[in-house]
Structure formats: C-alpha cells, structure tokens
Amino acid sequence: MGEHVVVLSHAGAEPLSPAQSACITEHARLEVVVRHATPDASEAAHLLRHATVVATTPSVAPRLDDELLGRLPRLHSLVLHAGDAEHLALGASARRRLTLTTLPDPASGAVAEHALGLLLSLATRSHLANDRSRGRVDASTSLQGVELCGSTLGVLGVGRVGLHLARIATGIGMRVVGADPHPTARRTAEHVGIEMTSTDEVLHRARALAICASAASPSTPILDLAGLGALQPGALLVNVGRPDLVDTDAVVAALRLRHLRGYAVDGTPFDRLEHADLMAEGRIVQTGHSASWRDEVLARGAEQLARAIVAAVRQDPAARAEADGEEQVA
C-alpha cells in the first residue's frame, strides 16, 4: 500500500486547483474530506486510518494524542495550512514521530493591510458613515473622526505582520514605536528604523495601538484593564492577533467610559445585543477572521499547500526545505 494523503478542510478540495490536485496524485492517493468541526477521536481514527500524510487547517485539525496516534500506524507527516502550529494539540508520541510542515506565511502583508484599514475606519468613522447613509443608524449620529498623520502608532509584536504594518503606517505620516519580547524581532525592527522600547512605554506614547502578537496564554491577555488604562485618553485600538490577546470586558468598560475611542478586532468577540450601544456608535468594528481572505493570499496558500503535501509524501529533506515551511516536531 503506497502513500495516502487525507485533506481535512471545511472547504474540501476548493483550496487546491485541478492542476495542483493532479500533481499530488502523481505521488499518492488523494482523499479530500469536508469537515466543519474537529473530529472526535473515533471519527479521526476512522477518517485517517489509511493516511500517511494529513493536511488540515487549524480549525478542523484532530487532536493527535498518543492514543489516537497508536491507531494510525501509517501516519508519518502532518501539513498544517497555517503559518504556525501554536494551537495544535500534539501528544508526546506525535512530537517524536511526526514531521510537521507549516506554510511560509502567505498572508502577513494582507493582515497588515487589514490592520491599517481597521485603524483608518476607526479614525475616519467611514464604516459608520456607510451605516448612516443606509439608514442603519440614527441620522444624528456623529461622524466626527481624527487624523492619523503625525500621531504615534504603537505596535505590540513586530513579527512579519507588525513589521509590515509599521512600514505602511509610516507611509501615511505616522510615527511608529514597537515592543516585542523576542530579541530577533527587535533587532530586525531596529535594523529597518523602527524605534523599539518597552510595552509600558509603547502604551504611554501611543495615540493608536495595534496588537500584532501571535501568541499568549488564553488566560493572560497581553492587554488588560491596567494596560488599557495606561493608554492616552481617546486612543484607538486594533487587534489582528487573536481576540483573546485583549481583555474584552476591559475593552467594553474602557469604551463606555470614553477612555478608549474605538476598538477594531479581526474576530467576533462582541454580542450584537449585549454590545448594541457600542456598535451603533461605531466604536466597535469586528471583521470575523477575514484579514487574510484575499485572492492573492488564497492563490499563494494553495500553491504552498500543494508543494508541502508533495514534499511530505516524498519524505525528501531537500523537497521539504524547498516547500519553505518545515518544522520538525521533535
């Protein structure tokens, strides 16, 4: 029995073009399974029973604990359609046995552009102007905004997204100051001319703050009530990291106290009934994880996914390096 690739995705085979699927089937049997939720252990054991390679998105990735892996003796590789594996649940045996490949981030530019777009929406209140012109909010709703040129943007997390955002924000005349716990990220940012300092200093200086960090403990947001309190009155806040990087209850309090002028997040942490007042005022914008949903990103991601799957099937170190996203689990 040869190589057998199972693709788990809510979009089925849609991310792969016919040519890309044909390229994979030159090397292995290809089975595509449409999933809208993570399979439980029994489902996963059945779906993946013949698999040597599993390609999946984080939202439907099975929990590969030691018990499940023991029922999948042929599995040797996992390809994750994402730029990192920080949310992936892997048991000790999986970390020893499997080779994990992530994709070389096709979306950082798009996410940075999305962050700037959200910031511009909060500053110009263009989203509210659209709602008012369509009769969705009261005609007396104020559309008064603020200028961003000449103000300071603080960036928490100057990895690929944060670095790109810093570059394009300077293009509209903003001063940028950043903070990041990782020495390599700090050195890279300083090398391209971004002023780096402490998180506390960023909070005190920023008129607008962008959360571009990629990881934090779910129980410990990097921006809590105290951090929000350190921001200048009337500050704007954008979060394109994860919603749980910011204390949502603290944001609501800061918005209702008018300490925070507006909050935009690429997620859906707010309830349209519970937070209807803030939404009607245009002080909350939430975009439902759409930051990377761009034609170019999808095309790049599909090409990277196909290359990574073929490299995993071939178990060729040179081909894996060419796929440009290998991460050995061990």
Calpha distance 262→236 (Å, rounded): 5
Residue of 181 and 1 predicted with greater confidence: 181
- CATH superfamily, domain at 108-286: NAD(P)-binding Rossmann-like Domain (3.40.50.720)
According to the model, what pLDDT value does residue 327 have? 40
Fold of 4-106+294-328: Rossmann fold (3.40.50)
What does 6-74 look like in DSSP terms, one character per residue? EEEETTTTTTS-HHHHHHHHTTSEEEEEE-SS---HHHHHHHTTT-SEEEE-GGG---B-HHHHHT-TT
Residue with tokens 């925070």: 260
Domain residue ranges in the chain:
4-106+294-328, 108-286
Nearest to 149 by CA among 120, 118, 187, 191: 120
The 10s digit of each residue's pLDDT in 231-275 is 999 999 999 998 999 999 999 999 999 999 999 999 999 999 999
**Residue 142 CB contacts under 8 Å (≥ 6 apart), including other chains:** 125
The 10s digit of each residue's pLDDT in 237-249 is 999 998 999 999 9
Two structure tokens written together for 295: 């034609």
pTM recorded for the entire structure:
0.85
Among 52-66, 172-186, 312-326, name the one with the lowest average pLDDT: 312-326
Query: At 322, is the pLDDT very low, low, confident or very high (cuts 50, 70, 90)?
Result: low
Given this chain, do its domains 4-106+294-328 and 108-286 carry the same CATH topology? Answer: yes
Two structure tokens written together for 271: 């309830």
Residue 312 φ/ψ, nearest 5 degrees = -65, -40
Two structure tokens written together for 1: 């029995």
**Residue 209 CB contacts under 8 Å (≥ 6 apart), including other chains:** 153, 154, 155, 156, 202, 203, 223, 231, 235, 236, 237, 238
What does the mean pLDDT of the chain come to?
90
Calpha distance 236→147 (Å, rounded): 11
The 10s digit of each residue's pLDDT in 109-152 is 999 999 999 999 999 999 999 999 999 888 888 899 999 999 99
Two structure tokens written together for 203: 């909070």
* DSSP-derived pairing of the beta strands 326-328 and 99-102: antiparallel
How far are the Cα atoms of 108, 113, 212, 242, 248 from residue 268, in angstroms, in the given order? 20, 19, 17, 10, 11
Query: At 22, is the pLDDT very low, low, confident or very high (cuts 50, 70, 90)?
Result: very high
For residues 56-82, give the mean pLDDT: 90
According to the model, what pLDDT value does residue 325 have? 46
According to the model, what pLDDT value does residue 311 have? 94
Dihedral sign from CA coordinates of 94, 96, 99, 102: positive
The 10s digit of each residue's pLDDT in 199-234 is 999 999 999 999 999 765 445 799 999 999 999 999
